[in-house]
């Protein structure tokens, strides 16, 4: 175990992000309740250790689409924004109801927070959001965060929950962000397409070369992110003085393995950048 992995045992405020594809049965698109239960159990155990925990979860649109028996969110070959937002409204309620029941089973209280880009870009909104998170964590509550897809349009959407989780981690002054995905971590190339792609266990300092390894592709038809969005998240996280790990969500127990210092996933080490401006960075996300 290297010294940096050993230090993960001491992390006190942890943000965990899980994607849509990790929450559903691939055969049917229905919620995978056993996986969600294991996820919640892991988070509750971290809470019982005295750690602050925040969950950033995808899955609302997919759950809503399934609830109203839709095969696609496209109309005449184009994305239907109103339909997407309607599915989000349906699915978010279902998703949160499931989380509330699961957290209650382990005597933990969960709270829902829905965010848009304006939450971060607007100074007053950001201040209020920070205060809300701080008070929830002080009360021992586990915030469950998602993007507010019911109202978000291109101009006010963050875009994906990889980025959102890093924004939340920076906002709450977390010291560790765990991105659970359908891939083991960062590779020099897409391992699904290139068998010679090499796995990278640790990134000491994020460079343009690393950013270039993030291809805008995703391994499933459910999620909205890919390695590209994870590298953007790494930029936010490391610049904001927190470590980040990308790990495979196939086994949800990976959360505890990471926190216990095991060599799992790709570790991005914190490299605080005094010039990094989170609101400005978020404002420019759609402009790049």
Mean pLDDT of 102-122: 95
pTM for this structure?
Answer: 0.91
Considering Cα of 25, then 28, then 31, then 32, what sign does the dihedral take? negative
Contacts with 66 (C-beta within 8 Å, 6 or more apart), sequence order: 29, 30, 91
Given this model, what pLDDT does residue 76 score? 59
Q: Is residue 63's pLDDT more than 90?
A: no
Mean pLDDT of all residues belonging to the chain: 89
Mean pLDDT, residues 55-63: 89
223: pLDDT strictly greater than 50: no
What gap in Å lies between CA 16 and CA 220, rounded to an integer?
A: 20
Strands 52-57 and 176-181: unpaired
Average of pLDDT values for 232-248?
96
Q: For the residues 23-47, what does the mean pLDDT come to?
A: 92
Give the mean model confidence (pLDDT) for residues 73-79. Answer: 63
CB 243 within 8 A of CB 237: yes
- Give the mean pLDDT of 104-129: 95
Average pLDDT over residues 52-66: 91
Structure tokens that stand for 24 in this block: 């559903």
Statement: residue 84 has pLDDT above 90: no
Report which DSSP code applies to 197.
P
Q: What is the mean pLDDT of residues 130-137?
A: 98
Q: What is the distance between the alpha carbons of residues 39 and 157, in angstroms, rounded to a whole number?
A: 26
* Span of 27-36, 100-109, 148-157 with lowest mean pLDDT: 148-157
DSSP of 211-228: HHH--S--SSSS-S--HH
| % residues pLDDT > 70 (the chain) | 91
Banded model confidence at residue 262, pLDDT cuts 50, 70, 90: very high
What phi and psi values does residue 114 have, to the nearest 5 degrees?
Answer: -115, 130
Is residue 222 scored above 50 in pLDDT? no
If you average pLDDT over residues 122-148, what whole number do you get? 96
The correct CATH number of 3-287 out of 3.40.1160.10, 3.90.1300.10, 3.30.470.30, 3.30.70.20 is 3.40.1160.10
Q: What is the pLDDT of residue 1?
A: 56
């Amino acid at each position: 175990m290297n010294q940096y992995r050993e230090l993960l045992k001491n992390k006190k405020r942890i943000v965990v992000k899980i994607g849509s594809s990790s929450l559903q049965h691939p055969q049917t698109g229905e919620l995978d309740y056993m996986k969600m239960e294991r996820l919640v159990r892991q988070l509750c155990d971290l809470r019982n250790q005295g750690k602050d925990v925040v969950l950033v979860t995808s899955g609302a649109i997919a759950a809503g689409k399934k609830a109203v028996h839709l095969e696609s969110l496209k109309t005449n070959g184009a994305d239907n924004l109103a339909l997407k937002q309607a599915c989000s409204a349906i699915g978010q309620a279902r998703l949160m109801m499931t989380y509330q029941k699961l957290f209650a089973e382990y005597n933990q209280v969960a709270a829902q927070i829905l965010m848009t880009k304006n939450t971060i870009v607007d100074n007053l909104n950001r201040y209020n959001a920070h205060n809300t998170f701080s008070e929830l964590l002080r009360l021992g509550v586990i915030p469950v965060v998602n993007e507010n897809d019911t109202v978000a349009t291109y101009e006010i959407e963050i875009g994906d929950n990889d980025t959102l989780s890093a924004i939340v981690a920076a906002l709450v002054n977390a010291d560790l962000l765990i991105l659970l995905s359908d891939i083991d971590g960062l590779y020099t190339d897409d391992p699904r397409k290139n068998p010679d792609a090499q796995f990278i266990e640790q990134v000491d300092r994020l460079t343009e070369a690393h950013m270039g390894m993030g291809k805008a592709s995703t391994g499933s038809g459910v999620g909205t992110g890919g390695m590209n969005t994870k590298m953007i998240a790494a930029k936010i996280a490391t610049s904001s003085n927190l470590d980040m790990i990308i790990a495979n969500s196939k086994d949800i127990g990976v959360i505890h393995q990471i926190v216990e210092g095991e060599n799992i996933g790709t570790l991005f080490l914190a490299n605080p950048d005094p010039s990094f401006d989170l609101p400005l960075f978020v404002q420019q996300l759609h402009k790049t």
